[in-house]
Amino acid sequence: MTRRTSRPALAAAIALVAATLALNGSPVSAAYPERPITLLVGFAPGGSMDLSARVLAGSVEKILKQPVVIESKTGGTGTVALSAMLSQEPDGYTLCATPSSVIIRVSQMQQVPFKPFKSFRPIFGFATPPLGIVVKSDSPWKSLKDLANSARANPGKIKYATTGVGSTTQAAVDAIALKEKLQMIHVPYKGSIEALTSLMGGHVEFASLTSEFVASVKSGQTRVLATMNEKRSPKFPKTPTLKEEGYSFVNDAVYAVVAPSNLPPEVAAKLEAAFAEATKNEEYLAALDKINMEPACYSGKDFSDFLRSQWTEINRHLKAAGLIKEAATKPE
């Protein structure tokens, strides 16, 4: 589990927020929320981002005493949903659940209609996805070395699927291709479900996926050659990580809820406290595990700090891979 704030400290913070609102809360903060909240998701229904957001929504709406409705806004590798949120009133009734990579990776590879560090108010980071390099179970490749050798012998012929241009899943393959000097064909999709379907249909030779791959491996349809987190996945203890295989890549994706930067502070505080409380619920944790996600605990400030620290690291990787000369979007 990724934790950036200790539970005792988080409990104290929640108590402080509650006390502050009780003493100083404005009419807006005292009444909020008075109607359902929309939580936008920029990736396909049934994917890890969508499912994680639904699990979170089901838990937090019990605390907020209002429905939290998931609305899909796919496109632009997640940027369409963020832009759609920013077009609404900053009143706390339209939020967005997004991978951190959309804010700090995609925005470096393409111009986006927002400033990564100025347009958003991070509310809470709640989950991290396991990522993996996956092949069909009948593939002759048993390791990343096999994959690299085949790609080297067939330059420009091996096709691979990812969750989108500029995504963390693409970055993982870029790290492999850069070190091995490989030329492969990237086939981006709107999420892991579509990418996995492409793999199963034989349209690509391998795929770089988020947690959707776990079920396909367990059912025997696919085989995972490597995972991407810092440590080996408890679900695949015998499978090496990219880092163990000698590639300078570690999963930098954290799933989080963000709001427009000009959200009233009282509303932001109320939301952060509610999401923090929601992610302690045992039912929530069990539901998250059922969809093969790992819980995280980033306060709004922690997540903001994480974005800033990762921006520089991602910028270095993108330049080294020859994907950018400079970031396409200025962060602030």
Provide the whole-model pTM: 0.76
Whether 181 contacts 321, CB under 8 Å: no
Q: What CATH number labels 2-128+254-320?
A: 3.40.190.150
pLDDT tens by residue, 189-247? 988 889 999 999 999 999 999 888 999 999 999 999 999 988 888 889 999 999 999 99
Amino acid at 4: R
Supply the pLDDT for residue 232. Answer: 87
> Is residue 38 scored above 50 in pLDDT?
yes
Q: How confident is the model at residue 8 (pLDDT cuts 50, 70, 90)?
A: low
**CATH C-level class of 132-227:** alpha beta
**pLDDT higher at 140 or 312:** 140
Q: CB neighbours (10 Å) of residue 325?
A: 8
Which span out of 11-15, 130-134, 167-171, 189-193 was modeled with the highest average pLDDT?
A: 130-134
**CATH 3.40.190.150 domain extents, the chain:** 2-128+254-320
HSE-up of 277 (CA within 13 Å, CB side)? 17
Amino acid at 304: S
Supply the pLDDT for residue 11. Answer: 53
Q: How far apart are CA 302 and CA 124, in angstroms?
A: 8
HSE-up of 174 (CA within 13 Å, CB side)? 22
Q: CB neighbours (10 Å) of residue 66?
A: 16
Supply the pLDDT for residue 25. Answer: 44
Q: How confident is the model at residue 22 (pLDDT cuts 50, 70, 90)?
A: very low
Supply the pLDDT for residue 166. Answer: 75
> Can you give the length of the chain in residues?
332
> Is residue 86 scored above 80 in pLDDT?
yes
Average pLDDT, the chain: 89
pLDDT tens by residue, 282-293? 999 999 999 988
**87: exposed, middle or buried (Cβ count in 10 Å: 0-12, 13-18, 19+):** exposed
**CATH 3.40.190.10 domain extents, the chain:** 132-227
Q: How far apart are CA 17 and CA 20, in angstroms?
A: 5
Supply the pLDDT for residue 7. Answer: 54
- Beta bridge partner(s), residue 255: 99, 127
Q: How far apart are CA 302 and CA 298, in angstroms?
A: 5
